[in-house]
Structures are given as structure tokens and as C-alpha cells.
Amino acid sequence: MTNEQLRTHTAALPEPVREARAELPCEASELLDYPRDLDDAAHEHADGSAEVIYHSRAHQLLAECSRSERNAAEEEAEECGVQPESYDGFASALAYFVVRARYFDDVRAALEAYRETVREALDETADLPDIDGTEDEPLPTAAALERDLDAIATILG
């Protein structure tokens, strides 16, 4: 989506939806603009994060994360057959799973809440008369809302 298309798309959204979209975390907003699978996006995010790249940041993250996050990371690392060659390597591997899970959970929760806002707005537009739209070309607002719902479906699967 070009910048101009994004501006046009956003302008077509009803005010409550625009506000909800503006409040999304930047990661969720970026995925809405350029939809792709959430698993892939979470992997890319974690793989390039400072907490995974730098061992000291990995150790710091693991020291600050909850025990349940660390246990989940250890289980996932074991399931994936991770066998690091060093203590620092193991810390980075665990940090990868923590960062990935946090990203995945945060983006998923934000997009699920946004999806409900979009659905409610789409239900409200169903009651509007077809002033400028036809069956082949729906009202710009409805089309913009449907585009966001399609994007969310692509992201969340």
C-alpha cells in the first residue's frame, strides 16, 4: 500500500475506528498496512531484536521476565531441539522465544480488539443507504472496514 493509498484508506474509516487504529502498537499497525502471517512477523521481530543478538541483553531479559515466560521458552527451545554451544548462546536462544512470544501475544491481542471495533463499525454501516455505493462498489467506508478485516484474517490466520 502506498502512502497515498494508506491516507485514503484511513480517511475512509469512521472516527472511532481511526482512533482505535491510531492506538494500536506500531507492530500491529504495520502488519495491518502490509499484512503477512503473524508467526513470520514474530520470528523476524525476535530474530533481529537486541535481546537476542547481544548476550548481555539476553541475560538481562531472562532475569527480568516471569518464571512462566522462562519456562515456556525453555519448553519451546527443547521442542525445537535447540542445543547451544555455550551459556550465552542458551541465554540468547531463550531470549528469542521470550521476545517472540511477547510480540505474538501483544500483536494478537491488539488486533483481536481492533477486529471487534471494526466489526461493530461495519455492522453500523450496513444500516446506511447506498448513497455513493453499489453492490459492485461498496461505500468507501464499508470497503475500508472490510479491507482491515481481510488484513486481520491474513495476519491471524
Q: What confidence tens digit (pLDDT) does each residue in 68-113 have? A: 999 999 999 999 999 888 999 999 999 999 999 999 999 999 999 9
In this structure, are residues 105 and 65 in contact, taking their beta carbons and an 8 Å threshold?
no
Indicate the burial class of 98 (C-beta count within 10 angstroms; 0-12, 13-18, 19 or more). buried
What is the model's pLDDT at position 78?
Answer: 94
User: At residue 148, does pLDDT exceed 90?
Assistant: yes
How confident is residue 131, by pLDDT bands cut at 50, 70 and 90?
very low
How confident is residue 139, by pLDDT bands cut at 50, 70 and 90?
low
What is the model's pLDDT at position 1?
Answer: 73
In this structure, are residues 62 and 70 in contact, taking their beta carbons and an 8 Å threshold?
yes
C-alpha dist (Å) from residue 130 to 16, 137, 144, 145: 21, 10, 15, 16
Indicate the burial class of 131 (C-beta count within 10 angstroms; 0-12, 13-18, 19 or more). exposed
pTM: 0.85
